[in-house]
Amino acid sequence: MNSFTFHIPTEIVFGKDSESLTASLVRKYGGSRVLIVYGGGSVVRSGLLEKVCRQFEEAGLEYNTLGGVHPNPHLEFAREGVKKALAWEADFILAIGGGSVIDTAKAIAHGTANPDTDIWKFWLREAVLTKTLPVGVILTIAAAGSEMSDSAVLTDMESGVKRGLGTPFNRPAFAVMNPELTYTLPAYQIACGTVDIMMHTMDRYFNPDTTNQLTDELAEALLRTAIHNGSIAVKNSRDYGAMSELMWCSSLSHNGLTGLGGKKDFAPHQLGHELSARFDVAHGASLSAIWGAWARYVYKTDVARFGRFAANVWGLRGASEEAAAIAGIHATEEYFGSIGMPTNFSTLGIGIQPEEVLRELALGCTYHRTRKVGSFQVLEESDLYEIYKAANC
């Protein structure tokens, strides 16, 4: 078995009505002046925000609110959030929403704890984060896994750069997860979430150093569970069983568990981030649109791994290892299609792109030729270009 470190300090409170414990959780983790961050209004319409505010009033907790986080959240908005948190002297940030809201809350927490450093410097690795404020989460969508992850992703609208920051300071103090809070999700967002959950698992599963049996088996079980319940959930968002399974899959897919002992790949994520930054497409959709092209480009690096994926995730065996590998890729794309997710640029809705755009996307993936991408197969700019080209139909 390969060695690993696993430290997830996030307290999870899962189940019906779990949000009623939010005030006591905030107190437990040292909050007394809480900045509540939320998105474009779904938590206002559902009544969740009001419910939490009332709970805080009854508990004697001071709070202020900051709504309007955009999906694929903007750096500029997070900077405004830092100003607000500092002016109001917040000591705790509560995110009510999905990955975009949680990542904005994380950024605000970092900026508030480090008022002399522009937050983007942490994302650009020009400054090292050594402290932050506690962040709590009430999750309303199973997708990004940010509720337990060590990551936060922002887009700088000025430069068009979408970038993630990985640090233990990104792990929230607690996450409240009531699957009933996801009942109001549109089918499209549930499907995007299902893809993202799968991809967090697959971006770890496909790596060059896979020797930990339990890690692999956990990943395969998680994929089968997400696939099964994703199909049910897109048809009926009020199916408690399916929404529960997806919600827990979301957290476990990206808290590190499914990749222990292996190297992360995350090339499809990087390819997708460039698409989201340029075309503002939903994160999950950007991933399904590129994954098939990536898989077909790299599978020969380890055909047996793709064969195992086909057998243990899709129950497929081929006449040869290669036939099985191809069948597994095909089944994954078919599945994406069956839940309404794109598998190329046309179905993503961005249309066929000219060659110069493909070249710019590939260049962006390499952070302007300062790095290579992925680990399953290490990709150079020319490889990334070929993958975009294959998806450009």
Which one of residues 104, 112, 114, 140 is an interface residue with ligand NZQ (CB under 6 A)?
140
Q: Nearest distance from residue 272's CB to ligand NZQ, in Å? A: 8
Q: Kindly state whether residue 141 participates in binding ligand NZQ, applying the rule CB under 6 A.
A: yes
Stretch near ligand NZQ under the rule CB under 6 A, chosen from 24-32, 187-195, 240-248, 336-344: 187-195
Nearest to 61 by CA among 82, 34, 84, 35: 34
Q: For ligand NZQ, which is the closer residue by CB, 140 or 258?
A: 140
Six-digit token pair at 271? 């390819």
Measured from the Cβ of residue 125, the count of other Cβ atoms closer than 10 Å reads: 9
Which one of residues 196, 220, 245, 274 is an interface residue with Zn ion (CB under 5 A)?
196
Q: Kindly state whether residue 216 participates in binding Zn ion, applying the rule CB under 5 A.
A: no
Stretch near ligand NZQ under the rule CB under 6 A, chosen from 75-83, 147-155, 208-216, 369-377: 147-155
Question: What would the x/- binding string for Zn ion be over residues 277 to 296, using CB under 5 A?
Answer: --------------------
Helix 187-205 and helix 267-279: axis angle, to 10°?
140
Q: Which strands form 33-38's sheet, in the order they lie side by side?
A: 11-14, 174-177, 135-139, 92-97, 33-38, 62-66
Burial class (CB in 10 A: 0-12, 13-18, 19+), 180: middle
Q: Nearest distance from residue 321's CB to ligand NZQ, in Å? A: 30
Q: Nearest distance from residue 283's CB to Zn ion, in Å? A: 6
Show contacts with ligand NZQ in window 271-310 (CB under 6 A).
283
Q: CA 87, CA 78: separation in Å to the nearest integer?
A: 14
Contact (CB, 8 A) for 129 and 114:
yes
Residue in this structure with the two tokens 């962040």, named with its chain if needed: 135
Q: Kindly state whether residue 40 participates in binding ligand NZQ, applying the rule CB under 6 A.
A: yes
Give the three-class secondary structure for 233.
helix
Which one of residues 143, 176, 249, 329 is an interface residue with ligand NZQ (CB under 6 A)?
143
Residue in this structure with the two tokens 């233990």, named with its chain if needed: 168
Q: Kindly state whether residue 265 participates in binding Zn ion, applying the rule CB under 5 A.
A: no
Contact (CB, 8 A) for 9 and 171:
yes
Q: CA 283, CA 99: separation in Å to the nearest integer?
A: 10
Q: For Zn ion, which is the closer residue by CB, 196 or 265?
A: 196
Show contacts with ligand NZQ in window 67-106 (CB under 6 A).
71-73, 97-101, 103
Q: Kindly state whether residue 220 participates in binding Zn ion, applying the rule CB under 5 A.
A: no
Q: For ligand NZQ, which is the closer residue by CB, 193 or 307?
A: 193
Question: What would the x/- binding string for ligand NZQ be over residues 191 to 230, using CB under 6 A?
Answer: -xx--x----------------------------------
Measured from the Cβ of residue 121, the count of other Cβ atoms closer than 10 Å reads: 13
Pairing of strands 151-156, 161-166: antiparallel
Binding site for ligand NZQ (CB under 6 A): 39-43, 71-73, 97-101, 103, 140-141, 143-146, 149, 151-153, 181-182, 184-185, 189, 192-193, 196, 254, 269, 283
